[in-house]
Amino acid sequence: MNETDAIGFPRFDPLLVARYHAWTRLVGWFTFVLGAATFVYWIVGSQWLRIGTPAINAMRANAALGFLLGGLALVLQVPSRSGWVRGIARLCAAAVFLIGVPTLLEYARVWHGSVDLLLIADDIWPLPGWHLGHVSLSSALGFVLLGAALLLIDSPVRRVYPSQWLAAAALFMALLPALGHVFGATADIGIERGFQIGLHSVPIFLVLASGVLVARADRGPMQLAARRVPAGRLLRRMLPVVVLLPVAVGSLRLIGEQAGLYETRFGIAISAWSNALILCAIIYWYATVLAGEEDHRRIAQGRAQSTLNALQSPICVVDKNGMIVACNRAWSETGAAAGASAAAVGIGANYLDVCDRVIGPEGESARAVASGMRAVLTHRSDEFVLEYTCQAALAQSWWRVRVTRYAVDNEQWLVVAHEDITTYRVQEQKILRLNRVYAVLSGINGVIVRARERQQLFDEACRIAVEHGGFGVVWIDVLDASAQEFSPRAQAGADSAILLDNGRAMHLDRSDERGLIARAFATGEHAYCNDLASANGIDTPRLRSAVALGYRSAIVLPLLQEGAVVATLTLLNREADYFDEAELRLLDELAADISLALEHIAKREYIEHVAFHDTLTGLPNTRLFTDRLQQRMNNAGNGELAVALFDLENFTWINETHGRACGDRLLREIASRLSAAVPAECTVARVGADTFAIGGVCEGEAASAAACTQLLARISEPLAMNDKEIRISAHAGIAIFPRDAQDAETLFERAEAALRQAKTTRQRCLYFAPEVNAQVAERLLLEADLRLGLERGEFTVVYQPKIDLTSGEVIGAEALLRWHHPQRGLMAPADFIGIAESTGLIVGLGDWVLHAVCEQQAAWLAAGVQVVPVMINVSPVQIAEGDMLDRVQRALTAHALETRHIELELTETAALHDSPATRATFAALRKLGVCLSLDDFGTGYASLEQIRRFPIDYVKIDRAFVANIPASAENGAIVSAIIAMSHALQLRVVAEGVETDAQLAFLRRHDCDEMQGFYFSPPLDPAALEAMLRNGVRADLPVSAPEQRATVLVVDDEMGVRSALHRVLRRDGYRILTAASGEAGLKLLATQRVQLVISDQRMPGMSGAEFLDAVNRHYPETVRIVLSGYTDLATVTEAVNRGAVFKFFTKPWNDDELREGVRQAIRLSRPAPV
């Protein structure tokens, strides 16, 4: 690993180390080749290298072998190796060491073995005794030193590298004989006999020792020579000068003296002068180097300080005693910001003492830092990291301190770095908060799917917001619009009861800006405060209590239903500045989801209400009435109950004479009168178009007769309508439990029989009497005819085509049963199906229809007709038999048909027979591949929960709802709700009884899938349907061409106003449509793209507010403007609240202002789909 110095720079230059390695490999190969060549010559007996003189004698074989192995060991260990290569290198080094050891033993008189002759005998130049030519003592010592240096080349001992010191010793060991040879004075300096190295061996020893010396220049003492610092340059440049220059001067002096150029004394003077000059040069050079090194150190320190100052985190360097020896600008600035002086936390201060002396909230963290620093200094830990907080005057901040250790020249130093992680922590907390809000969103979305009631949704939303969202207190206030009060309906959190004063209602002042809830109710947007304690202008009892309990942030989210705020969701948190932009967006999504769920629940409740109640009067329908009646009968004990049915006389005439709106108003008024006239425990229901029912306790026949008389009188009271007084009379039929029946349905039938008898005899009120029940006899007669008709084949099947509302193609047909009665003529199913079901004849009749349809489909297939699926009506009685699946399979098999050729249509009544067997039958039919349809949907028989359990594919909207669209806003709402609900359940929707363009346009606008009715075709006989299928007849569905101009619809009952508005607005290039009434306007909207509606407020029949309310519900993309000559507050309020109008203009109007208002409205409008 490349070590670094105190400021982090490398302790050696890799380029210089590479050069030293190259020199080492060159030396190794040179020594290896020379030693190998000499050793080979000895082996082959060559005479040339073995002939010598006493001055230059032959290199001995063991010396040659030592150089060979030394060079090989050096080559194999540069660069540093491992594994088997390192093993070979060490083996060679050991051999070099052992070559020198025997010779040393001989010189020590320990062993007499003629070491030089052990490997190869010298028979040409034998040298007995201690004569020149043997391996000298210096050579043997050199081999021992070099062998040991090569063995220890990678083995430091206590941070000391003996290899380099041994190589230096070998180098100077060889340098002494070299000087003797240079000066020719071996004898003078005592180098004689065995102490002299041969002249040819001296350079080999020198270069080999130098190679071993720099083989590891990246460590040990030689590391200094590999550094690009002044000291390294001084060592590299001056060491050769110091070694070679004195030798050169001495040689010149010797040469001059021997040549007689000067005397010895002059030579000594010259030598002294030269040495003095050399020393002066060396001293000057050394001073220059020191000055450069000082400059370099200052530059390096400045660079290091600049680097430290460039770091944003406060950083300091401390020594082993905790003294600060360096710090950056951020350290000083942070200390100054904390109120500490430069002497306390700057260079020279003891940081350990500073940390130990800290008191207050940060004292514990400071002492932990000091303890961590001591642990790192004592090597008990390599690193110390701690996160801590600082509480400043304005805000809290988070910091992370990291303490690391490093060593320079055996000195321990610590780097202490404090990193400001406030932003990271804030973002982390933000992410945690957002994750909690996402968890709330996910949880509430799950509740939305499960919740069936508003209270369940509210309770679960509050609970999830507290448990998953981390909010302290959550509650939902619901607005009582009539009392202008809001009160909590759901709450969660430990402090919720205290804050909400145990559910006490609060008055709503929409103009009060001090309350967040008032703001949300007034604006329909969220209102929040991130610091309740210091918020100006926010002062309500609840918020004051919240501040007292430690809550700092609050938000109020409006919950909307049909665009109006109906409730608010309030969330409190103890953290200040809790709500940021991202969280506000998510919370707005949360409020939107809950609002959507409220609308879904409202629609579901509305549909369920419609299923059990009359849509016009709001009274219970037949199903709910009989259910309640049965419950009361079950709990009646020995008491009596009475059921009275009231039928309005001549109601059809009133409808035809005064209009349907007048008839509807009359029915609502009668419902109100009956409800007000009976005790609360009695049930009032509308059970027919003009029939009402009342069920309650019977206190005797006389009492019930008196009550009936009073009710008839209430019904007959005059009613002012269209400036006229209308009176209507009624008939009543009464049946009493348990005298007349033991169950609710039979009791209801008995009351019906009594009512029919009263109408027949023109009596006002009759009790049920079996002996005068002519209807029973009639029923029995028709039952007998029905049995005979089935046997005689008096029934036929006709087919009404079913049309795809997208393509206009005929995609199916419905099989309709007709009875050709011998006396009564052609009878529709409504005249006899009820009797067939009650008698069980429907099973055989249905089986006949099933086979008749299958037979006809098979005939068409045989004739090559492209058949379509035919829908067959199935009665609940057939399903109850339990063998419906077998009957269908037998019919299909008998006529070789597939399941796709027929479909089964079930009435909502089938849902009443919701049993495991019924559900199993439906599931088996669906598994067989038969498509199932639900007929007469919305007529009030089955609950949505029951319908949900049936595996149906289609829902058919009853013709009673289709008949009055789009003029009837109520029916339009029901139809659109049924379509939306069915599509949400992945069901296709079929509308029956479609007869007009307006009805078709309304259904297509609301994405109805299919339709049937006289608009396209009446029921057809088989031949006519076959011709239609063969010719590919399809419905001519109107296609609206794109309209480039904006369209304005003007609705006013005064022709002059309509003409004036047409004249004013035509100048701006608008397409102007006009209508004289709200009903006419709704018909135009069903077939035309309209961007803006301008409506009068007071019109006969449907008022402007009612008309705009219908527009708002069915065409929300169309902008609405009210134009009225009446400016009373009630009129304005009704128009605005019901119609959600864009602007209100008075008559007469200012043309310029009106035109500008229209332009603004057009810009706001969106294109309305057709």
- Tokens of residue 248, six digits: 């050169």
Residue 583 pLDDT > 60, yes or no?
Answer: yes
- Tokens of residue 695, six digits: 């069920």
What is the spatial distance between Cα 1088 and Cα 1115, in angstroms, rounded to a whole number? 11
pLDDT in tens, 970-993: 888 888 888 888 887 778 899 999
- Alpha carbon 582 to its chain's center: 13
| Residue 579: CB atoms within 10 Å | 19
Residue 631 pLDDT > 60, yes or no?
Answer: yes
Residue 841 pLDDT > 80, yes or no?
Answer: yes
- Tokens of residue 461, six digits: 């939303």
What local confidence, expressed as pLDDT, does residue 1103 receive? 85
More confident residue, 891 or 657: 891
What is the spatial distance between Cα 454 and Cα 601, in angstroms, rounded to a whole number? 7
What local confidence, expressed as pLDDT, does residue 225 receive? 74
CATH tag for 428-609 (out of 3.40.120.10, 3.40.309.10, 3.40.50.150, 3.30.450.40): 3.30.450.40
- Alpha carbon 821 to its chain's center: 68
CA–CA distance from 480 to each of 483, 487, 567, 571, 608 (Å)? 6, 8, 9, 21, 23
Contact between 1039 and 997 (Cβ < 8 Å): no
For tokens 């430069």, the residue is: 342
What is the spatial distance between Cα 632 and Cα 156, in angstroms, rounded to a whole number? 106
Residue 54 pLDDT class (50, 70, 90 cuts): very low
What local confidence, expressed as pLDDT, does residue 124 receive? 45
Residue 296 pLDDT > 50, yes or no?
Answer: yes
Residue 556 pLDDT > 50, yes or no?
Answer: yes
What local confidence, expressed as pLDDT, does residue 859 receive? 95
What local confidence, expressed as pLDDT, does residue 188 receive? 42
Q: Between β-strands 1010-1012 and 795-804, what pairing exists: parallel, antiparallel or unpaired?
A: antiparallel
- Tokens of residue 340, six digits: 């500490």
pLDDT in tens, 354-378: 888 887 777 888 888 899 999 988 8
Residue 208 pLDDT > 90, yes or no?
Answer: no
What is the spatial distance between Cα 546 and Cα 549, in angstroms, rounded to a whole number? 5
Q: Looking at the domain 792-1023, which fold is it?
A: TIM Barrel (3.20.20)
Q: Where are the alpha helices (DSSP H) in 742-875?
A: 744-761, 774-792, 833-839, 841-862
pLDDT in tens, 992-1011: 999 988 888 888 888 898 99
Strands across the sheet containing 553-561: 506-507, 485-492, 473-480, 564-573, 553-561, 527-529
pTM above 0.75, yes or no: no
Contact between 171 and 209 (Cβ < 8 Å): yes
Sign of the CA dihedral running 1024, 1029, 1031, 1033: positive
Q: Looking at the domain 1047-1164, which fold is it?
A: Rossmann fold (3.40.50)
What local confidence, expressed as pLDDT, does residue 483 receive? 64
Q: Is 322 left (phi over 0), alpha (psi -120 to 50) or beta?
A: left
Residue 1019 pLDDT > 50, yes or no?
Answer: yes
What local confidence, expressed as pLDDT, does residue 898 receive? 92
Q: What 3 state SS string does 850-897 have?
A: HHHHHHHHHHHHHCCCCCCCEEEEECHHHHHHCCHHHHHHHHHHHCCC
What torsion do the CA atoms of 124, 129, 132, 137 make, to the nearest 10 degrees?
Answer: 130
* CATH superfamily of the 311-420 domain: PAS domain (3.30.450.20)
Report for 2-16, 401-415, 555-569, 855-869: range of highest mean pLDDT? 855-869
Rg (CA), the chain: 56
What local confidence, expressed as pLDDT, does residue 574 receive? 86
Residue 120 pLDDT class (50, 70, 90 cuts): low
| Residue % of the chain over a pLDDT of 70 | 84
Reduced to 3 states, what is the DSSP secondary structure of residue 816?
strand
- Tokens of residue 628, six digits: 């309640």
User: What is the DSSP annotation of 980-1031?
Assistant: HHHHHTT-EEEEE---SHHHHHHHHHTT--EEESTTT---B-HHHHHHHHHH
What local confidence, expressed as pLDDT, does residue 674 receive? 93
What is the spatial distance between Cα 34 and Cα 861, in angstroms, rounded to a whole number? 110
What is the spatial distance between Cα 541 and Cα 529, in angstroms, rounded to a whole number? 15
Residue 159 pLDDT > 70, yes or no?
Answer: no
Q: How many helices (H) and strands (E) would you count in the chain?
A: 40, 32
Q: Which CATH class is domain 616-772?
A: alpha beta
pLDDT in tens, 671-717: 999 999 999 889 999 998 899 999 988 877 778 888 888 999 999 88
What local confidence, expressed as pLDDT, does residue 723 receive? 73
511 φ, ψ (degrees, to nearest 5): -90, -5
Residue 45 pLDDT > 80, yes or no?
Answer: no
Q: Is 523 left (phi over 0), alpha (psi -120 to 50) or beta?
A: alpha
- Amino acid letter for position 468: H
What local confidence, expressed as pLDDT, does residue 125 receive? 46
Compute the average pLDDT of residues 145-169: 81
Compute the average pLDDT of residues 93-119: 73
Compute the average pLDDT of residues 422-437: 78
Compute the average pLDDT of residues 301-309: 77
Count CA atoms closer than 13 A to 443's CA, side-chain side: 19
What local confidence, expressed as pLDDT, does residue 1027 receive? 93
- Tokens of residue 135, six digits: 């391996």
Mutual angle of helices 651-658 and 660-677, in 10-degree steps: 140
Residue 620 pLDDT > 90, yes or no?
Answer: yes
Compute the average pLDDT of residues 4-25: 70
109 φ, ψ (degrees, to nearest 5): 65, 25
Compute the average pLDDT of residues 791-816: 90
What is the spatial distance between Cα 177 and Cα 186, in angstroms, rounded to a whole number? 8
What local confidence, expressed as pLDDT, does residue 818 receive? 92
What local confidence, expressed as pLDDT, does residue 734 receive? 92
Residue 852 pLDDT class (50, 70, 90 cuts): very high
What local confidence, expressed as pLDDT, does residue 1167 receive? 47
Residue 50 pLDDT > 70, yes or no?
Answer: no
Q: Which helix H or strand E contains 1135, and what residues bound it?
A: helix 1129-1139
Residue 510 pLDDT > 60, yes or no?
Answer: no
pLDDT in tens, 1038-1068: 765 455 678 899 999 888 788 788 888 877 7
Sorted by sequence, the CB contacts under 8 Å of residue 940 that are 6+ apart come out as 610, 611, 612, 613, 614, 621, 622, 623, 908
Q: How far apart are the first and last CA of the chain?
A: 79
What local confidence, expressed as pLDDT, does residue 379 receive? 86
Residue 217 pLDDT > 50, yes or no?
Answer: yes
Compute the average pLDDT of residues 546-573: 88
Compute the average pLDDT of residues 242-246: 71
What local confidence, expressed as pLDDT, does residue 130 receive? 40
In the predicted model, what is the mean pLDDT of the chain?
80
Residue 132 pLDDT class (50, 70, 90 cuts): very low
pLDDT in tens, 1080-1124: 888 888 888 888 999 988 888 888 888 888 888 888 888 989 888
What local confidence, expressed as pLDDT, does residue 1127 receive? 61
pLDDT in tens, 876-898: 888 877 788 999 999 999 999 99
Residue 389 pLDDT > 70, yes or no?
Answer: yes
Residues in the chain: 1170
What is the spatial distance between Cα 71 and Cα 145, in angstroms, rounded to a whole number? 14
| Residue % of the chain over a pLDDT of 90 | 15
